[in-house]
Structure 1
Amino acid sequence: MYRIRDEWGEFLVRLARKAIENYLREGREIKPPEETPKELWEKMGVFVTLNRRNAPPQMALRGCIGFPMPVYPLVKATIKAAIYAAVDDPRFPPVRESELDDMIIEVSVLTPPELIEGPPEERPGKIKVGRDGLIVEKGIYSGLLLPQVPIEWGWDEEEFLAQTCWKAGLPPDCWLEKSTKVYKFTAEIFEEEKPGGPVRRKGLVGGG
């Protein structure tokens, strides 16, 4: 059963676009709309992803930032994540307003991360590509990959773990170490079919 209704997902995606547009034009964060459904005031984790239209998956990403833990009400977290994805992702220069006409906006609403218990070598069998996202933590290092990422790149579970370690700035086999913590989570994903166009719920191949 979905936590986020389709109409709420559409609301969040449109809100993310409006937040980016407003920030690029006026340099300030918008307030949550008065018509925000009360359910979206619950604290939830969320990521906003910006993708270039018609680009292959390996070249499409233009920004992705969010909050893995439920620290803000979902409506506020979406506004903040959208702005950060547009102007604060260290991998990319800030988005220009002219780019928005060729950009697909995607919002992923996360479940709280769950620690994967047991021997490290059993971790691949406790995750599922197409369903789970991953967080790897060791010391001061931390990395997160959303559930859609291994689908886009064709990774299996072990490669997904290795790439999440790499995202954290750690050796790719660090998931085999007991001192490394690995968390999994799921996400409900909503994206525009075209820039500013209809919003659809995004299913993942192999998801469950």
Structure 2
Amino acid sequence: MVSEEEGKILIRLARKSIESYVKNKSLIDIPEDTPETLKENMGVFTTLNKNGMLRGCIGYPEPIKPLINALVEVAVSAAVNDPRFPPVSESELDDLEIEVSVLTKPELIEVEKPEQYMDKIKIGEDGLIIERGPYRGLLLPQVAVELGWNVEEFLYNTCVKAGLTADCWLFKDVKIYKFSSQIFNE
């Protein structure tokens, strides 16, 4: 997917995007020397932490636009549009730790019985998307590891994130997708 050097470019660009928007309300231009890999359509999330606590997280789970363009958008959105938090202020910029997750295309997990999900989801490797009707929830692969969840807890919490009951993953009309991600940190 993305090399370590390209990951460093993404992190620097995420920080530059956030700082430019918070300070000047302007989006940065995409660098002309962007590596070709970063121009491919890929899903991406930007996670902001402050003092070890979540401060914002927004992304595109689907590969709907070039990675570099999507990154600029989600970095700014994580800073100023995450509905769980007030917009990041200029005084907070130095305290932010930025994480960029580049995602593979989500893949539908097909099972005959819901219990089979237990064997098809790998903690630490897979992120999850759960859909039922108009509801949709996503958790990145690192969340289950950071919180020490097993597969069942990961499924429960992804259902809750979607605004559904914790056991919705057992219902026949639920779609569950998995994806993997490459994680880059400052």
Indicate whether the TM-score tops 0.5: yes
1:36 CA displacement: 0.8
What is residue 93 of structure 2 aligned with on the other side?
Answer: 100
* TM-score (norm. length: structure 2): 0.98
RMSD (CA atoms): 0.7
1:120 CA displacement: 1.6
What is residue 159 of structure 2 aligned with on the other side?
Answer: 165
User: Which residue, 124, 149, 156 being the options, matches 2:118?
Assistant: 124
User: Which residue, 40, 43, 58 being the options, matches 1:42?
Assistant: 40
1:39 CA displacement: 1.3
1:175 CA displacement: 0.2
- Which residues of 2 match residues 14-25 of structure 1 at below 5 A? 14-25=12-23
* TM-score (norm. length: structure 1): 0.88
User: Which residue, 84, 103, 106 being the options, matches 1:110?
Assistant: 103
Q: Which runs of 5+ in 1 are unaligned?
A: 193-208
| Counterparts of 1:103 and 1:23, CA distance in 2 | 14
1:165 CA displacement: 0.1
Q: Which runs of 5+ in 2 are unaligned?
A: none
- Which residues of 2 match residues 177-188 of structure 1 at below 5 A? 177-188=171-182
What amino acid is the match of 2:160? W
| Counterparts of 2:115 and 2:26, CA distance in 1 | 47
| Counterparts of 1:17 and 1:190, CA distance in 2 | 12
| Counterparts of 2:97 and 2:172, CA distance in 1 | 39
What amino acid is the match of 1:133? G
Matched, 1:32 2:25: no
What amino acid is the match of 2:46? V
Question: Contact 1:124 / 1:161 at 8 angstroms: preserved in 2?
Answer: no
Percent identity over paired residues:
59
| Counterparts of 1:66 and 1:141, CA distance in 2 | 17
Count of residues in Structure 1 that have an aligned counterpart in Structure 2: 185
| Counterparts of 1:150 and 1:49, CA distance in 2 | 15
- Which residues of 2 match residues 146-157 of structure 1 at below 5 A? 146-157=140-151
